[in-house]
Amino acid sequence: MRTINRPTDTAGDVFTECISLVRNPGLRRRLNDVKNLVIQASDELDQKVTKGNLHTIVRETIINGNVTAKELENVYTTRMVPKSSPGRKIYDKIKISAPLGICPLCAHREVKTIDHYLPKTKYPRLAVAPLNLLPACTDCNDIKDVFYPTKASEEFIHPYYDDVEDDLWLYARIEQTVPATVQFYVNPPDNWSELLKERVKYHFEKLNLNALYSVQAAVELNNINYGLSEIFASSGANGVEEHLLKQSQSRSQANINSWQTAMYAAMSSDNWFCNGGFQLRDI
């Protein structure tokens, strides 16, 4: 859950650009006639996001009485996504806006696509609205699919609006298995609103982030095992703890809520782990 800069292109300008090459006069006129409704939908998203009001946005199948949801979805799929389409430069601009090319939704996988924060099938007026378009990995995009909030607590964290980077909320715990396993969980600080606490938990669970991070942690454990064994042999459990704590602090400088920071913090504070629990097999 990373925060990224909001796009500066407006919904009206992007919509105008996308429909600029529509040849069919009837379709062109009908699409032009919904431009203000597209702008209004983007404004409504802007006003309701993070306040727990997104579920009050009406889902539509026909707009202005004569434009179908499918026709507005097509503005995205045929006039913004294809390489030579008029909206493609805006698509690309949004796609590369995530720092290090990392998906802001899972904070781990590589950005490969654009995700509609609110699905275009349910909210067709937001099909090409920049505030509704997020750089994302294909897994997050696939999992989110057509989910839409039915209540305030079901709003995913929005990378353009929510900032959960300064407070520690992601933790891990070590399970005494052989090899050790790492489980991740959300524990938001007390000063957050109840709504933000619920939304971060919802986001974490819905996108299966514990499963994603646990797998990464298992790989990491394999990679560091040799080094930990060396430290344990020369400096014992205290040496292992000290080493892991330093590693945690270093990762924390980059992102206090990365799975790596949480994993190293959990390992360093777990006596069983530092005392040989890190071994990949019984010895």
Q: Please report, as residue ranges, which positions from 108 to 127 form the binding site for Zn ion (by CB under 5 A).
A: 109
Nearer to Zn ion, 204 or 232 (CB): 204
Q: Compute the distance between CA of residue 32 and CA of residue 25 in angstroms, rounded to an integer.
A: 10
Residue whose CB is less far from Zn ion, 60 or 115: 115
d(C-alpha 254, C-alpha 111), whole Å = 19
Instruction: Indicate whether 63 belongs to the interface with Zn ion (CB under 5 A).
Output: no
79 close to 28: Cβ distance less than 8 angstroms = no
Query: Binding residue for Zn ion (CB under 5 A) from 41, 102, 137, 157?
Result: 137
Concatenated DSSP letters of 156-216: PP-TTT---SSS--EEEEEE--SS-EEEEEE---TTS-HHHHHHHHHHHHHTTHHHHHHHH
Site for Zn ion in 5-44 (CB under 5 A): none
Residue type, 35: K
CB of 210 to Zn ion, least distance (A): 14
Residue 54 Cβ vs Zn ion, minimum distance, rounded to whole Å? 20
Q: How far is the CB of 94 from Zn ion (least distance, A)?
A: 15
Minimal distance in Å, beta carbon 214 to Zn ion? 16
CA atoms within 13 A on the CB side of 236: 1
Binding mask 149-188 for Zn ion (x = CB under 5 A): ----------------------------------------
Please identify, using beta-carbon distances, which residue of 88 and 112 lies nearer to Zn ion: 112
Examine residue 140 and tell whether it contacts Zn ion (CB under 5 A).
yes
Distance (Å, whole) CA 251 – CA 258:
8
Q: Which of 41, 45, 90, 105 binds Zn ion (CB under 5 A)?
A: 105
Q: Which residues bind Zn ion (CB under 5 A)?
A: 103, 105-106, 109, 137, 140
